A = this chain, B = another copy of it.
């Protein structure tokens, strides 16, 4: 579908009617690191979110679920530096944080999506947050996406933003997002957070449908270290200010929105994976020729999650035996004798395994390909037409360093 999609500036403020800001309020000791972010929609927006499947859930997740249960929200507040998880007073603190924001913004507390990221099991002190919210709200601006993106970062080394312009039914629409990947100054969970804003007019039900469907092929296909966090959340606000006729069912408009949403999500996935804790390389594993989608996903994800594959990629080692091994224990029903494996980067493509067995290849050429920063691991299963992609990163000394350091 041609929806005239193009990259634009502005992140979560690219869509009409959205402002954002990020400040240092004092949750973190380091004054140069922002730790509190806010995003506001001028009008009430359809709201949808997906959350971690971990049974241990951050208190903010429980509160957000309640707040957006009616399908609408106007603002997103998020702190970094403390996950507000496994604290006896977690829900209470999250509600109070939400109320402080509601007062400053002159909106209802029920219209606020709330998120926290950081160390778990340490009480979250409301004092710096409540003191910081008035100036946070006052500083909201249409140029505030970068500040908001910074305020949710933990050990992320780059801020993660994207925005697109596209058309639905002849109307120019915009969608943008910010994300945080894995890591903490007091390292703990890889708490992934993604906030997306759009001025598309879409019902809450269709927004949730679009998000839930897209997540399966995007954020649920990332792995940094196999540890599902307690605070993961992807939330979308759609305020309708683009003026398209509201999307209330499937059809070409919904598909156009899905395409834009998917582009935003894949971009953020790649940014999160490539900036995984300690990562030096972005890995993209594409499984093709699967007999069904379940098989394709299981294979791509198993390879991207393998510590041995990840360590081999760190060493630029074309160790395809580890790829086959990871396919073999993926649980997917594949015919090993039909598997092919290639490695690809900007330096070219090299096939190293065909029909489940090694073939002669130039180790020199393989090394040249694998020394690049973005590596594709291409797996052909030769059993059908389904395919799937998963994203991850290499396993490095720095991953161990970041996560082996003492919390204090």
Number of interface residues of A (CB under 8 A): 65
Verify A120–B324 contact, CB threshold 8 A.
yes
A143 at the interface (CB under 8 A from B): no
Most chain-B CB neighbours within 10 Å: which of A320, A325, A334?
Answer: A325
What are the interface flags for A215-235 relative to B under an 8 Å C-beta threshold, 1 for contact and 0 otherwise?
000000000011111100000
What are the interface flags for A260-284 relative to B under an 8 Å C-beta threshold, 1 for contact and 0 otherwise?
0000000000000000000000000
Set of chain B residues within 8 Å of A315, measured between Cβ atoms: 403-406
What are the interface flags for A15-56 relative to B under an 8 Å C-beta threshold, 1 for contact and 0 otherwise?
000000000000000000000000000000000000001111
With A358-B86, A397-B400 in contact, do A316 and B55 touch (Cβ < 8 Å)?
A: no
Set of chain B residues within 8 Å of A408, measured between Cβ atoms: 363
Binds B, one of A6-14, A167-175, A303-311: A303-311
What are the interface flags for A64-97 relative to B under an 8 Å C-beta threshold, 1 for contact and 0 otherwise?
0000000000000000000101111000000000
Verify B88–A121 contact, CB threshold 8 A.
no
The prevalent SS among residues of A at the interface is loop
The listed residue (B325, B336, B358, B399) touching A311 by CB distance below 8 A is B399
Of all chain B residues, the one with the shortest Cβ separation from A357 is B88
A391 at the interface (CB under 8 A from B): no
Which residues A309-349 have CB closer than 8 A to chain B? Answer: 311-312, 314-317, 319-322, 324-329, 334, 336
Verify A56–B336 contact, CB threshold 8 A.
yes
The listed residue (B188, B357, B363, B400) touching A395 by CB distance below 8 A is B400
Verify A325–B227 contact, CB threshold 8 A.
yes
Most chain-B CB neighbours within 10 Å: which of A228, A321, A322?
Answer: A321
A387 at the interface (CB under 8 A from B): no
What are the interface flags for A358-372 relative to B under an 8 Å C-beta threshold, 1 for contact and 0 otherwise?
100001000100000
| A interface residue numbers (CB < 8 A to B) | 53-57, 83, 85-88, 119-122, 187-190, 225-230, 305-308, 311-312, 314-317, 319-322, 324-329, 334, 336, 353, 356-358, 363, 367, 395-397, 399-408
Closest 5 CB pairs of A and B: A56-B328, A311-B403, A120-B321, A315-B404, A228-B329
A-B contact list, 25 entries, CB within 8 Å: A54-B328, A55-B334, A56-B324, A56-B336, A86-B321, A86-B356, A86-B357, A87-B357, A119-B321, A120-B325, A121-B321, A122-B358, A227-B322, A228-B328, A230-B321, A230-B324, A311-B399, A311-B400, A311-B404, A314-B400, A317-B404, A319-B407, A363-B408, A395-B403, A397-B400
